[in-house]
Structure 1
Amino acid sequence: MITGFLQILLALNLVAIFMLSYNYSISQKEIVYNSNFSQDNLENIYQIEEINNVLFPILNDLQNESDFFIYRYTDTLLCPIYLHQEECEVESCNFQNFPGEDSINTVNLKYVGEKYKGQHGQMVWFRIYEDLGNNTSSKIHAEMMNFIKAIHQSISISIDEQFDYDQVNGPKIDFFLQRVGYYPDRIKNLYFLEQILIKALNFIRPNHELQSSTSLKVQNLQSSYNQMALSKFDPLNKLTEQDLEQYRNDIKLLDSYLDCVHCKKCKFNGKLQIHGLNTAVNLLFYEKEREQIEKNDLVAFFNTFYKISNSVKQLDAMFERITQILYQYIKLASSSFAILSLLSSVVLLLKK
């Protein structure tokens, strides 16, 4: 009877090793990408990663510039729908406002990181996709919707990096897989948005509100991009005025939907990135708007650019963590198999 029980355990262990090994093989980033993206998309993705590796250290450095610490933000309550959700009672959901106007929050961006559980906002995003999806007017407009989706995916990755475990913050792999990793189209959206931000960067002009040291770093960022080739692949080359107008309406609707999020920091981070995205669109497609870009717009743009750039880099880290965890499980299952095999052999010898 003992021998039969050990044989069952050995069989189960062997199945576990096979399944873990299979999951390990298909969870590697290169295999995931090669299996889900066309050759053209792959070339574009690898070019963006190459450029991102150059730009990210400069973007990271820019976040330490005092010019980009402070963001002026008008808190609104324009939620167009009713969603049942509990009020956020976590103190860290709130942020301290600088003295000043009651209707305008002057926020220090160093203290509003996305270290939360990402639950309340998800219902709002589902409703956003439902309503905006019904408004899609063309294939190009649908492509522009991917900008908004990429913001959501970037926020999910930021939350995953510093997931709130109540007492400590740290990575949460299953959260990453559920929100991003299992969906190649969501991964592609991040690269698509970074490509747009890189192109928008080239249209930023000197701003007298920035300190000279900050302006030099912005110029350094632009020259780093100009020295590298970006793929000619451009899904927005047939964009029409109607598409742009529809997209601007989407942005307004999205901004009002974010008012439905009860966590103030979560709501703020979403609105900040939407402002950064809107600035990128203005830089790319509206020549008159380029002349009117203010410091606050640049703060939002570079904060959004940094977060998207960081999310693209974190994709490597997340896939690496997944394969490391699976590898450890394979080692554990293999050790168990060896021990069970030894026990089975000993039992057989004792029977003889």
Structure 2
Amino acid sequence: MWLPKLGILTAYVVLGVTVTLSADEKDCFCKIPLKGEVDDCSCKIESLDSFNNLKIFPRLHSLLNKDYFRFFKVNLKRPCPFWGDDGRCALRDCHVDKCSEDQLPPGYKESKQEENKYTKEAQEQLHTDCKEQKELGGIDKTISSEDRESFKSWSKYDDAQDNFCELDDDNSADMEYVDLTLNPERYTGYKGESAWRIWRTIYQENCFKPDTPVPGYGPAEARGAEGKALQSGLDLMRSLKGMCLEKRVFFRMISGLHTSINVHLSAKNYLPAANGYGKGTWGPNVEEFQKRFDPETTNGEGPQRLKNLYFTYLVELRALAKAAPYLEQEDFFTGDEKEDNETRNAVKDLLKIIKSFPDQFDESRLFQGNNKEAQQLKEEFRKLFRNISVIMDCVGCDKCKLWGKTQTQGMGTALKILFSGDTMGPDSTVDAQQKKNFQLRRSEIVSLFNAFGRLSTSIKEVDVFRQLIKEKDST
């Protein structure tokens, strides 16, 4: 999906403030790096660039190639609950290659599932329970069909209290392992009404609305599906100053995710062979990047969208830091002892670097107080994000759906972490001692790290585009 060119302007309205660009800035906003503080945070973009590109990205890139994080179990066949199937993406690059059992690590193979299902402690407890049951006599295990349905409802209710995403059912026959490294996120050609309906539904129906209506621009309405989706995002962005902090955070996270996806699609774009013959390559498309982020093609909003990318990065960075004590106790089990040891050490090394970052996002500023209004806002926040996670089942391109589900689930896991634990704030943590009240599924951990990996890669790619544009303009 790309944003249409809106015409040459020298003054733009950004968050309600008129900004006039110099001739150099108007020609190419990437001639100079983004500067200043990330909105609603004290962190400066310049320090984040250096921290991510030099310290986080190399470690994370290596970690995500480990088996534990490569193999993601997902259901790509869940039907869209909001509208009928309007056709699948028929392009070859929309296809996702599934894993056969012989490609999986030993601990993930079906024949090993049951023996590896429980930890050593759980297995010992299970043995004790079975022994006691044998001694005390059999237990009537019959359950009526009505009770079974009730249990399902209870489970869904319990999940809804903690989770910001609707997670796939691990027991579904449609769950399949996918090797994320063999199905990279890149431009597939998926566009048009089906693609724009996804973002239009997210922005128009599942983002907080400003208290004061923001008038739309007529020309955007006339551009059909693309214009309406673009307009809804622009209107919300302009109205942020009239929203409370929680609503601004929600929008900036969604905008940052959208930005990150657009950076990936520009960075891994299909480039035809130079001579017009033979197989093309995948690489950075400067023109595509400028269409999506240059002020002239985004009504001045491109730089703000990129700032929202940094904001989303900080939120997920903070979630990893908060969950570090919990994650440091994780086994990261795949059945390959050598690989698992390397993964545990790599995770601890990454978390040590993440915790060293001085300007962590402060979640304690959100939903302050125990009053009814704050709790209602928090529940609305959770409900809207769960809806967005479900909308990913409506994506018509399997590869886009795979990465949409991975990244929204990762973001939802980050939110679950931030609002868990006994306290909130930069010094609070979630540790292994709180496992009775806080648990992360394997799929949540895999999606959390991969979602953060996508944001980290985006920030790295923005720097690459900045250099490419400078080179292009100097020739």
Q: TM-score range by the shorter chain?
A: 0.7 to 0.9
What does residue 90 of structure 1 align with? 91
Alignment match, 2:461: 314
| Residue 148 of structure 1: aligned partner | 254
Which residue does 2:72 correspond to in 1?
71
Which of 227, 241, 247 aligns to 2:381? It is 247
**Distance in 2 (alpha carbons) for counterparts of 1:83 and 1:23:** 42
Distance in 1 (alpha carbons) for counterparts of 2:315 and 2:25: 36
**Per-residue deviation, 1:129:** 0.7
Q: Which deviates more, 160-169 or 297-306?
A: 160-169
More divergent stretch after superposition (318-327 vs 267-276): 318-327
Please tell me whether residue 238 in structure 1 is matched to residue 366 in structure 2: yes
Match of 2:201 among 119, 123, 127: 127
Map 1:1-352 onto structure 2 (within 5 A). Answer: 26-30=29-33, 33=35, 43-52=43-52, 53-75=54-76, 76-81=78-83, 87-99=88-100, 102-116=173-187, 117=189, 119-120=191-192, 121-133=195-207, 139=244, 140-165=246-271, 167-182=280-295, 183-202=302-321, 203-204=323-324, 205=326, 206-210=329-333, 211-230=340-359, 234=362, 237-239=365-367, 240-287=374-421, 291-328=438-475
Gaps of 5+ in 2: 1-21, 101-109, 111-171, 212-242, 273-279, 296-301, 334-339, 368-373, 422-433
Instruction: Give structure 1 stretches of 5+ with no counterpart.
Output: 1-18, 329-352
Cα distance change, pair 118–160 in 1 and its aligned pair in 2 (3 A)? farther
**Judging changes above 3 Å, is the alpha-carbon distance between structure 1 residues 214 and 154 closer, same or farther for their aligned structure 2 residues?**
same
- Give the fraction of aligned pairs with identical amino acids, expressed as a percent: 22
Task: Work out the CA distance in 2 between the residues paired with 1:43 and 1:199.
Answer: 12
1:71-101 CA distance string (max 9 Å, x none): 11123112413686x6311123122323576
- Name the SS of the counterpart of 1:169 in structure 2: strand
Please state whether the residue corresponding to 2:178 is helix, strand or coil: strand
Residue 350 of structure 1 aligns with which residue?
A: none
SS, match of residue 33 in structure 1? coil
- The count of residues paired between Structure 1 and Structure 2 equals 305
Listed one character per residue, the Cα deviations across residues 192-236 of structure 1 (whole Å, up to 9, x for unaligned) are 1111111111213121244222111111111112333126x6476
Please tell me whether the aligned partners of residues 38 and 307 of structure 2 are also in contact (alpha carbons under 8 angstroms).
no
Bigger helix share:
1
Cα 1:168–1:78, aligned 2, differ >3 Å: closer, same or farther?
same
CA contact (8 A) 1:47 1:230 kept: no
Query: Scaled by the length of structure 2, what TM-score is found?
Result: 0.58
Q: Distance in 1 between matches of 2:394 and 2:313?
A: 27
Q: Deviations over 1:111-147 (max 9, x none)?
A: 2212223524344212211112355785212322221
Distance 1:271 1:22 in 2: 36
Q: Distance in 2 between matches of 1:40 and 1:252?
A: 23
Which amino acid in structure 1 is aligned with residue 58 of structure 2?
P
Normalising by structure 1, we get a TM-score of 0.77
* Residues 207 and 241 (structure 1), Cα distance of their counterparts in 2 relative to 1, 3 Å cut: farther
